[in-house]
A = this chain, B = another copy of it.
Amino acid sequence: MYAESLLENRTIDAPAEVEHDVDQPVENEATQQVERDLRRVPIHPDHWYPLAWSHEVKKGRAHGVHFAGDPIVLVRTETGKLFALEDRCAHRQVPLHAGVVEGESLRCCYHGWTYDCSGKCIDVPYLGKERLPNGVRAYPSREQGGLIFVFPGDPALADSRPVPELASVTDPKYKTRRLGREVKCHYSFMHENLMDMNHQFLHRRQMGNMRARSLGRRRGEDFVEVDYVFTREAGKQPIGESLVFGGGKKNETGTGGKDVMTVRTGYPYQTLQIRTASGTLVMDLWIAYVPLDAAQRTNRTFGVLSIRRPKVPFVMDLAWPLLVWFTERIFQEDRDIVEMEQEAHDKQGGDRNNEVFPVIRELRSLLRERGGRTVIPIYKA
């Protein structure tokens, strides 16, 4: 029903740019990097970042997370209100997430200093109310699509920046799977991995021999996107893949057209969408890579993958465990390889990538331009 069958059902206006894409002279990227090693560009804080799944923060509980080395505590009060504070007591700097939610406030576990949703200290049990010390920093927070978003940058900008909408999540025509893990690499490797579909060879055991063809790219101030079509070169389509891309048997559209996959980095998020020749969105992945440590050498991945339900809906439910297995295996392969890239970077002490694919060079340029202005200090391996 889905992807691959559709990949074959669409007339492709293979643009001249395809060949151009891969055949233009490979200029040395070093010139661009003299000023800025991409792996040392911090993610820009003035965006909404998912820091937890909604279910991780239960009523009346505090939950500790990190953004780029900053500890943040997410609190859901007894009435269900959500707030986010710096995860350090103003007194002795211990994590507030070890504390106790009392009504609409959070009490530190150690000496009982208490903070409200704005971070103000409202009680020190052994101190007069008139002498209360300063409190802690509060972060703007929002909840959407099963994710808790925090704005770690300048709070004055929070309202003007959009919280990501995850449209397919609430659309009953789609079934959604959430995926996420910690991955030990800079977020930029994640973007490059997903956007360069020439890495299908990595998944040959899961996917067989698939060949990607880029149909051309588009670049805006804050995004890069690229379209691909795929051809199976050898091997049988694995059952896992047929659940994502659709199976040959259900192919009712012939081989004249192909599904088109669009991968887009709309800073700082990434999406991957597959549309049929007739324009139906059959797969919709939204994903963010949130740096955890100050060196931004580890990210937590929050992915929301929505698959359009087939006409016989229970078919997908039956097959769902296989899809889970299939996506887990692929994600594991991607994780292993990007961690190897990070390890090589740390050992080499700099970025020696020799990129030949113009899409990825455009992406790298975007990530450099939109990233934070500071430089991550040298990482000591």
Q: How far is the CA of A337 from the CA of B94 in the complex (A)?
A: 7
Is B23 a contact partner of A196 (Cβ separation < 8 A)?
Answer: no
Residues of B within 8 A of A211 (CB): 125
- Stretch among A51-59, A247-255, A352-360 lining the B interface: A352-360
Which of A105-113, A143-151, A277-285 lines the interface with chain B?
Answer: A105-113
Q: How far is the CB of A115 from chain B (nearest CB, A)?
A: 13
User: CA of A356 to CA of B107 in the docked complex: distance in angstroms?
Assistant: 17
A216: min CB distance to chain B, Å: 14
Per-residue interface assignment for chain A, residues 336 to 378, with 1 indicating a CB less than 8 Å from any chain B CB and 0 otherwise: 0100110011011000111111000000000000000000000
Which of A1-9, A30-38, A84-92 contacts its partner? A84-92
Q: Is the CB of A352 within 8 A of B131?
A: no
* Complex: chain B residue closest to A353, CB-CB: B92
Residues of B within 8 A of A303 (CB): none
What residues of B have a CB within 8 angstroms of the CB of A340 in the complex? 94-95, 98
**Nearest residue in B to A88 (C-beta to C-beta)?**
B344
> Cβ of A133 and Cβ of B354 under 8 Å apart?
yes
A337 to B108, CA, bound (A): 11
Chain B residues with Cβ below 8 Å from A88 are: 344
Assess whether A128 is in contact with B348, with CB atoms less than 8 Å apart.
Answer: no
Bound: A24/B130 CA distance, A? 11
> Which residues in B have their C-beta under 8 angstroms from that of A125?
198, 201, 211
Q: Which of B126, B201, B212, B341 contacts A22 (CB 8 A)?
A: B126
Find the residue from A23, A344, A345 having the highest chain B CB count within 10 A.
A344
Q: Which residues of B contact A127 (CB under 8 A)?
A: 22-23, 356
Report the minimum CB–CB distance from A293 to chain B (whole Å): 10
Chain B residues near A110 (CB, 8 Å)?
199, 201-202, 337
A93 interface residue (CB < 8 Å to B)? yes
Nearest-neighbour CB distance to chain B for A43, whole angstroms, equals 19
Number of A interface residues, CB 8 Å?
Answer: 47
Return the chain B residue nearest A91 by Cβ: B354
* Structural contact, A202 and B23, CB atoms closer than 8 A: no
In the assembled complex, which residues on chain B have CB atoms less than 8 Å from the CB atom of A196? 111
A93–B345 CB distance below 8 A: yes
- Let me know if A124 is at the binding interface, CB within 8 A: yes
Q: In whole angstroms, how far apart are the Cα atoms of A127 and B196 in the complex?
A: 14
Return the chain B residue nearest A124 by Cβ: B356
How far is it, in angstroms, between the C-alpha of A357 and the C-alpha of B91 when the chains are bound?
10
Cα–Cα, bound, A126→B352 (Å): 20
Additional pairs, 14, CB under 8 Å, beyond known A91-B355, A380-B380: A22-B127, A23-B127, A91-B356, A92-B354, A93-B348, A109-B201, A109-B202, A111-B196, A111-B198, A125-B198, A125-B201, A126-B357, A133-B354, A134-B354
A residues near B (Cβ < 8 Å) are 22-23, 25-26, 69, 88, 90-95, 98, 107, 109-112, 124-128, 131, 133-134, 196, 198-199, 201-202, 211-212, 337, 340-341, 344-345, 347-348, 352-357, 380
Interchain residue pairs with CB less than 8 A apart (24): A22-B126, A23-B131, A26-B131, A91-B353, A91-B354, A92-B353, A92-B354, A92-B355, A93-B352, A93-B353, A94-B337, A107-B201, A109-B202, A110-B199, A110-B201, A110-B202, A110-B337, A111-B196, A111-B199, A112-B201, A125-B201, A131-B356, A133-B354, A134-B354
